[in-house]
Amino acid sequence: MVKKLFRKRSINVCIVNTGGCNGCDIEIVSCLSARYDIEQYGIYVHNNPKEADVLLVTGPVTLQWAERLKEIYEKTPEPKIVVAVGACALSGGIFKEGHVVGGVHKVIPVDAKIPGCPPRPSEIIEAILKVAPKALAMREEKLKEQLKEKNIGQNEKLKNRI
């Protein structure tokens, strides 16, 4: 609803480092520089999961992070999408044998994956722009339908009571 009226083109991104080596993080940070200028596409990077539309998850999910990541995913408002950045987030990568869960998809549902160790800033921007608008619009419609069904159900309940 809000997304359709006045935040049509804005995408708020939250970086979640679940135990990576920082390589993907600094590539996301260098997207802010004037050469790539991520804000010209309407993407705003900050680390607040409660306002975010897109969760950029980097790194293999360590054992300490498994519960926390679920909590953060639940706290993010709908509609939301998750993008896994880097080889570690895809499958556990080089740390597969270590103290990690291995892959973000084992903990929360993932919408898009960007391979590379680390992926270039241009690839990250491209992936977000390709996935985010469509996925967010689809989620929005689904939510609306759910709300309608809920409302109908509630109305019938009210009628029955009367």
Partner 1 sequence: MATVPIGPIHPILKEPLRIKLILEGEKPVDAEIEMGYVHRGIEKIMEGKHCHKGIYLAERVCGICSFIHTMTFAECIEHISKIEIPDKAKYLRVIACELERIHSHLIASAVYNLSIEHETLGIWLLNVREIIMDLIEMITGNRVNMGYIVVGGVRRDINREMIDAINKKLDIFVEELKNIIEVFETGPLIALRSKGIAILPYHEIMRTRAVGPVCRGSGLPESDWRLRHPTYQELKFKPVWRKEGDNFARMMVRHEEILESVRLIRKCLELYEESQGDIRVKVDIKGGKGEWRNEAPRGELLYKMEITDGGLIKRIMIRTPTVMNLEAYKYMLKTCPTVSDAVSAYASIDPCISCTERTIIAVKDGKEVPIKFGQI
**In the complex, minimum distance from the CB of residue 73 to partner 1, in angstroms, rounded to a whole number:** 12
Give the interface segment with partner 1, choosing from 46-54, 105-113, 123-131, 149-157 (CB under 8 A): 46-54
Sheet holding 81-85, edge to edge: 43-46, 11-17, 54-58, 81-85, 112-114
Considering only residues 86 to 125 of the shown chain, the ones binding partner 1 according to CB under 8 A are 94-95, 97-100, 117-118, 120
Query: Which residues are registered as beta bridge partners of 84?
Result: 57, 113
- The answer to the question of residue 49 lying near partner 1 (CB under 8 A) is yes
Q: Among 3, 54, 56, 65, indicate the residue that binds partner 1 (CB under 8 A).
A: 65
Considering only residues 4 to 33 of the shown chain, the ones binding partner 1 according to CB under 8 A are 14-27, 29-30, 32-33
Distance CA 107, CA 69 (A): 8
Nearer to partner 1, 10 or 154 (CB): 10
Q: Between 23-30 and 121-161, two packed helices, what is the crossing angle to 10 degrees?
A: 90
Report residue 93 as tokens. 């990568």
Contact 54, 134 (CB under 8 A): no
Name the residues that contact partner 1, by CB under 8 A: 14-27, 29-30, 32-35, 46-49, 59-60, 62-65, 68, 72, 94-95, 97-100, 117-118, 120
